A and B are shown apart, each in its own frame.
Chain A
Amino acid sequence: MKLSVNGTIHEVDVDPNMPLLWVLRDELNIHGPKFGCGIAMCGACTVHLDGNPIRSCSFPVSAVKGEITTIEGVGTPDAMSIVQQAWVDHQVAQCGYCQSGQIMSATALLEKNPSPTDDEIDAAMSGNLCRCGTYPRIRSAIKSASASLQAPAIKATEINLNSTQDDTTKAPVAEEA
Chain B
Amino acid sequence: MGKLGTITRRTFLISAVAITGGVVFGYWKYKQPHGNPLLKDIDEGAGALTPYVLIDQNGISIVAPRAEMGQGIHTTLAAMVAEELDVTLEQVNVLHGPASKAYFNAVFMEDGLPFASLDESGLAEGARSFTEIPAKLIGMQLTGGSTSTYDHYDKMRTAGAAARESLLQAAANKTGIDVGSLSTSNGKVITPEGKELTYNELASAAAEIEPSAEPALKPRSEWKLLGKSQDRVDIIPKSTGTAEFGVDIDLPNMLYATVKVNPNLLNPMNSFDASKAESMRGVKKIIEIENGIAVVATNSWYAFQAIKAIECDWVPANYPVSTDGLRQLVVDSFEGWSNSKNRNDGDVDDALENGEVISGEYEVPFLAHATMEPMNATAWLHDGQLDIWAGNQIPTQVVIDAKKITGLSEENINVKTPLMGGGFGRRAEIDFVKQAVQIAKEMEGVPVKMTWTREEDTTHDYYRPLAMARFEAVMGETAPTAIDLKLAASGVFGAQFGRWGYPLAGPDNSIVQAAWDQPYGVENYRVTGYKAETIFPVMFWRSVGASQNAFFHESMIDELAHAKGLDPLQMRLDMMTDEPSKKVLEKVRDMSNWNQSLPEGHARGVGFCLSFGVPTAQVIEIAEQSGKIKIVNAYIVADVGIALDPRNIEAQLTGGMLFGLTAAIMGEITITDGKVDQTNFHNYNSIRMNQSPNFEVAILENGSKIKGVGEPGTPPAAPALSNAIFALTGKRIRKLPLNKEVDFA
Contacts and interface: CB of A to CB of B under 8 A. Distances in A.
Interface of A: 14-15, 18-19, 22, 25-27, 29, 31-39, 41-42, 44, 70-72, 75-77, 80, 84, 87-88, 91-100, 103, 121-123, 125-139
B239 A38 contact: no
Given A36-B374, A95-B70, A129-B372, 6 more contacts: A22-B301, A26-B301, A33-B241, A80-B240, A91-B231, A96-B238
29 contacts: A18-B299, A18-B301, A31-B247, A32-B241, A33-B241, A34-B245, A34-B421, A35-B300, A37-B681, A41-B681, A41-B682, A42-B681, A72-B241, A88-B239, A91-B648, A94-B655, A95-B70, A95-B373, A96-B239, A96-B421, A97-B70, A97-B245, A97-B372, A128-B689, A129-B686, A133-B658, A135-B687, A135-B692, A136-B692
Contacts of A132: 70, 372, 422, 655, 659
B680 A41 contact: yes
B235 interface: yes
A80 B241 CA distance: 11
Given A31-B248, A95-B372, A126-B688, A88 B651 contact: no
A98 B686 CA distance: 13
Nearest to A22: B301
Nearest to B234: A96
B694 A136 contact: yes
B228 interface: no
B373 A133 contact: no
A136 B695 contact: yes
Contacts of B250: 29, 31
A88 B242 CA distance: 14
Given A84-B240, A132-B422, A94 B301 contact: no
B654 A91 contact: no
Given A34-B247, A95-B373, A95-B420, A133 B688 contact: no
Contacts of A27: 299
- 8 smallest beta-carbon distances between A and B, as pairs: A32-B241, A97-B421, A95-B70, A133-B658, A96-B238, A71-B241, A94-B70, A133-B655
B422 A80 contact: no
B702 interface: no
A127 to B, nearest CB: 8
B241 A100 contact: yes
B99 interface: no
B651 A36 contact: no
A128 B690 CA distance: 11
Interface string B107-144: 00000000000000000000000000000000000000
Contacts of B301: 15, 18-19, 22, 26
Contacts of A138: 689
A129 B70 contact: no
B232 interface: yes
Contact of B232 (A14, A91, A97, A131): A91
Most chain A CB neighbours (cut-off 10 Å) among B69, B282, B655, B657: B655
B372 A93 contact: no
A31 B373 contact: no
Interface string B525-564: 0000000000000000000000000000000000000000
Nearest to B453: A38
Contacts of B695: 136
Nearest to B661: A133
Most chain B CB neighbours (cut-off 10 Å) among A87, A130, A137: A130
B69 A95 contact: yes
B654 A93 contact: no
Nearest to A80: B240
A94 B243 contact: no
Interface in B433-468: 451, 453-454
A175 B253 CA distance: 38
Most chain B CB neighbours (cut-off 10 Å) among A25, A41, A94, A138: A94
Contacts of B421: 34, 95-98
B375 to A, nearest CB: 12
A170 B241 CA distance: 15
Contact of A31 (B232, B241, B659): B241
B478 to A, nearest CB: 36
Contacts of B424: 131
B302 interface: yes
A78 B231 CA distance: 16
Contact of B651 (A18, A34, A126, A134): A134
Contacts of A14: 299
Interface string B219-253: 00000000001011011111111111101101000
A33 B245 CA distance: 12
Contacts of A121: 689
Contact of B71 (A75, A94, A97, A130): A94
Nearest to A134: B655
B238 A93 contact: yes
Contacts of A71: 240-241
Nearest to B658: A133
Given A91-B235, A93-B238, A94-B70, A37 B655 contact: no
Interface in B27-63: none
Contacts of A33: 241
Contacts of B681: 36-37, 39, 41-42, 129
Contact of B239 (A29, A93, A95, A131): A93
A32 B19 CA distance: 42
B12 interface: no
